[in-house]
């Protein structure tokens, strides 16, 4: 018992001397956050996470005190460094995703100034949560096919991400280590179908494939890639046809996004740097004239704008226009 007490005191003193001063109100806020997110740590981990949380909170407060197009906030990731976050949530395998000449054929417009497929009907499933698995590409894929299918048939069916994690590896996808929606659509096309979320539920880790053809609920006739860097073609597709998948480069500031139109000077805009796949469900323009995309993420509803975010449109922000696609439904 005495040795335990000595170890505890030594750990605390070591922590105090090796880290910047943490205010009582910051520790109180951390305890509130722990309660809110059901977090429990042992003593050593507590002080380690307290320091990271405090650093993140100061980043958020500093950002929000400035003049930016978006605000930051605390969320379920606020006790993690960006390096830790990348390891668990982003694509860890480099993705070669540029379609230098896509197959999408644009029309000339005109297009509505505002589009949101969530408001057009029952065409978008609720925000899902990928958990500790780099499977964003599967959620981008299912989200798009769910919408395309619903627009074609009038029936919105939640589709299986786990089937893609387990079964789509022959199409250059890597389960929880990453993949691409366009390659996942190819898998669904040649595999002849994707099962429902209910019949093939999400586990959030790599497993063996147990696809049952008789239970396939959605099918892909063909895959449509949008030509790299052609953001106007993305607008054409979303305005006329359906939501589209895209991939982009997530950097540390995006982790704390809460509201507003996200922009970054830290991210890269080339095809070799994309590390996260999402779903554009619409677009619009801010009162100050800034155009934006409305984007569905896969980090649960506690993150961002109830699981969504806005990102600047028209500038290939963070490479969002290098790797966009959607499927043609087979119904």
Which portions of the chain are predicted below pLDDT 70? 1-20, 93-96, 98-100
pTM score: 0.91
219, 299 Cβ separation under 8 angstroms: no
> In whole angstroms, how large is the CA radius of gyration of the chain?
21
pLDDT at 13: 47
pLDDT at 102: 76
How many Cα atoms sit within 13 Å of 249 on the Cβ side? Answer: 18
Give the chain's domains with CATH numbers. 84-329 (3.90.70.10)
Handedness of CA 265, 269, 275, 279 (dihedral sign): positive
Encoding tokens for residue 316? 């290939």
Catalytic residues: 136, 276, 297
With 0-12 CB in 10 A as exposed, 13-18 as middle and 19+ as buried, what is 284? middle
pLDDT in tens, 190-209: 999 999 999 999 999 999 99
């Amino acid at each position: 018992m005495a040795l335990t007490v000595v170890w505890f005191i030594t750990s605390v003193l070591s922590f105090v001397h090796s880290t910047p001063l943490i205010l009582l109100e910051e520790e109180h806020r951390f305890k509130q956050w722990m309660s809110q997110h059901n977090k429990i740590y042992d003593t050593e981990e507590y002080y380690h996470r307290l320091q990271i949380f405090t650093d993140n909170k100061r980043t958020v407060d500093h950002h929000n005190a400035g003049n930016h197009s978006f605000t930051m906030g605390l969320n379920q990731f606020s006790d993690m460094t960006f390096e830790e976050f990348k390891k668990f949530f982003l694509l860890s395998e480099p993705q070669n995703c540029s379609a230098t000449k896509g197959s999408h054929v644009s029309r000339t417009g005109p297009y509505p100034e505002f589009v949101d497929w969530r408001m057009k009907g029952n065409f978008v499933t609720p925000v899902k949560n990928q958990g500790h698995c780099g499977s964003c590409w599967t959620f981008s894929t299912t989200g798009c096919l769910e919408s395309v299918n619903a627009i074609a048939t009038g029936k919105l069916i939640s589709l299986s991400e786990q089937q893609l994690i387990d079964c789509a590896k022959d199409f250059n996808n890597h389960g929880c280590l990453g993949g691409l929606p366009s390659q996942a659509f190819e898998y669904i096309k040649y595999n002849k179908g994707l099962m429902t979320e209910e019949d093939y539920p999400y586990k959030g880790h790599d497993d063996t494939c147990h696809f049952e053809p008789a239970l396939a609920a959605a099918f892909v006739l063909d895959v449509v890639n949008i030509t790299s860097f052609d953001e106007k073609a993305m607008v054409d597709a979303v305005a006329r046809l359906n939501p589209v998948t895209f991939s982009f480069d997530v950097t540390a500031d995006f982790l704390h996004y809460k509201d507003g139109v996200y922009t970054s000077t830290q991210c890269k805009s080339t095809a070799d740097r994309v590390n996260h796949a999402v779903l554009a469900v619409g677009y619009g323009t801010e009162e100050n004239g800034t155009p934006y995309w409305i984007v569905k993420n896969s980090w649960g509803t506690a993150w961002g704008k109830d699981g969504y975010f806005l990102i600047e449109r028209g500038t290939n922000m963070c490479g969002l226009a290098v790797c966009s696609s959607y499927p043609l439904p087979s119904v």
